[in-house]
Amino acid sequence: MNGTDHDTIVAPATAPGGALAVVRVSGAEALAVCDRIFRGRGKLADAAAYTLHYGRIVEQEGTPSAEVAGVRVAPEQPESATDSDRPASAPAERTIDDVLVAVFRAPHSYTGEESAEISCHGSQYIISEVLRLLCRAGARMASPGEFTVRAYLNGKMDLSQAEAVADLIASSSRAAHTLATTQLRGGYSADLEALRERLLELVSLLELELDFSEEEVEFADRTQLRETMEQIDARIEAMRRSFTLGNAIKQGVAVAIVGAPNAGKSTLLNRLLNEERALVSDIAGTTRDVIEERTNIDGVEFRFLDTAGIRTTEDRLERMGIERTLSSIARAQIIIRLLDASQAGDTIPAPDFEVRQDQRLLTVMNKLDRCPGRTLPEGVLGLSAKTGEGLDTLRRALRAAVDTQALYHGDTVVSNSRHAEALTEAHDALLRAFDGLREGLPTDLLSEEIRQVIGHIGTITGRGQITPDEVLQNIFSKFCVGK
């Protein structure tokens, strides 16, 4: 990727297999390039912004295409047998498809550049021909995410918003969608910008003090300085903590189902997955593998860990099986501990694994159909994985274990590990500044520490500092071509 290029780029923007397809073109010469292969009422280069133009995509005859090279007539011998039905005076053009072209004028386009979106028929052949002709007319194929790189470089969005575009495309639940759209709308960026401004204020106060050091005036009151730094750190820490929720929503909330062999783990898993499967199997392109171990409950996606281990009961007896179970428990946000009602006594023993503070344990008594009228100890959910009784209560309990309040109230929720790392670095740098403050570090060094904090915050949005190429490369290579 070369983010500084301003040549014309093209890419299909839609997934293969649809009735229609959109090919995107962007760059200073985008409309002129399109005009070379488009035949409509007028020139696209003269068209107003946000207008739609009907016409044909044509190929100038005499320039062999990959498929028909050899059969095609060379320009110097136009009257060959294959073209005998064509009047000699007619322009030598072959129509590829009837299309609609949407025109966007700089800077009011996704990339901020002159752009066009060509809607053609969804045939793979037509799409590749349109792309080939555009490339021959002066464009080149875009690399993954290159449209969004340009949007970023042209100031249409900051880095965190650009990343939200990728998240939006990948979102598979209401919560993940909300997360991405909130970030895309820039609320998060505004929060970070506010933090950055406060930090800049601190630095300028400190540096002002440096300028006046001869007169020995302390402009930045140290107590106030410390208080402001504490407030900033509290904000950074709150954002960092929100990553637990953000990550769970983006990746799916991790659930481990544990219990003795024959407690009913597989039966329960199948129950939890089945209804979802019926819902999503109609969506083209989703494979069973992908959805197999995930289920959506009230807008949040849950993923079940090590379900292979659950399915192979004998495996549990082996050492490896036990280790796998322990590793699933460690990775889970929610642990469903399944007990067999026909085996369990009235007092439930403590779990034989560790439950961390950030994890939720749901103790569930299965096979209640075998013990009608059994009263459940407090805090224990009842279920029959076989009949489905109690399943809704379990679903509600799973959903309630994920507090999405923050998300739907528009609070900043960090969902990107790159951002979480940057916040951690910012927090560490701030801790060093606190140390410096305590140890009476000279003002210029103190100011440098705070500049470091600003630098780390700045890498999230990419604003206010030069972003190294590797960071850009890293972010945009995860995009699909055409975005």
In the complex, least distance from residue 322 CB atom to ligand GDP, rounded to whole angstroms? 14
End-to-end CA distance of the chain: 13
The reply on whether position 300 binds ligand GDP by CB under 6 A is: no
In the complex, least distance from residue 332 CB atom to ligand GDP, rounded to whole angstroms? 16
Tell me the residue type at 163.
E
In the complex, least distance from residue 311 CB atom to ligand GDP, rounded to whole angstroms? 7
Tell me the residue type at 56.
R
In the complex, least distance from residue 384 CB atom to ligand GDP, rounded to whole angstroms? 4
Query: What Cα–Cα distance (Å) separates residue 364 from each residue in 61, 321, 401, 466?
Result: 72, 22, 14, 53
Looking at the Cβ atoms of 266 and 327, the one nearer to ligand GDP is: 266
Residue 338: closest CA among 241, 264, 228, 244? 264
The reply on whether position 75 binds ligand GDP by CB under 6 A is: no
- Cβ contacts of 418 within 8 Å, gap of 6 or more: 163, 459, 460, 474, 475
Token pair of 427 as six digits: 């927090």
- Lay out the site mask for ligand GDP across 381-420 (x = CB under 6 A, - = otherwise): ---xxx----------------------------------
In the complex, least distance from residue 347 CB atom to ligand GDP, rounded to whole angstroms? 21
For residue 261, say if its preceding peptide bond is cis, omega within 30 degrees of 0. no
Looking at the Cβ atoms of 386 and 463, the one nearer to ligand GDP is: 386
- Cβ contacts of 401 within 8 Å, gap of 6 or more: 253, 333, 334, 360, 362
- Among residues 123, 154, 172, 266, the one that binds ligand GDP under rule CB under 6 A: 266
* Contact criterion met (CB below 8 Å) for 294 and 301: yes
- Among residues 24, 132, 250, 265, the one that binds ligand GDP under rule CB under 6 A: 265
Q: Binding to ligand GDP (CB under 6 A): which residues in 315-374?
A: 366-367, 369-370
* Contact criterion met (CB below 8 Å) for 359 and 328: no
Looking at the Cβ atoms of 316 and 419, the one nearer to ligand GDP is: 316
Looking at the Cβ atoms of 263 and 420, the one nearer to ligand GDP is: 263
Determine the Cα–Cα distance for residues 430 and 176; give it in Å rounded to an integer: 31
- Among residues 313, 327, 359, 452, the one that binds ligand GDP under rule CB under 6 A: 313
The reply on whether position 261 binds ligand GDP by CB under 6 A is: yes
Tally Cβ neighbours within 10 Å of residue 268: 24
Binding footprint of ligand GDP on the chain (CB under 6 A): 259, 261-267, 310, 313, 366-367, 369-370, 384-386
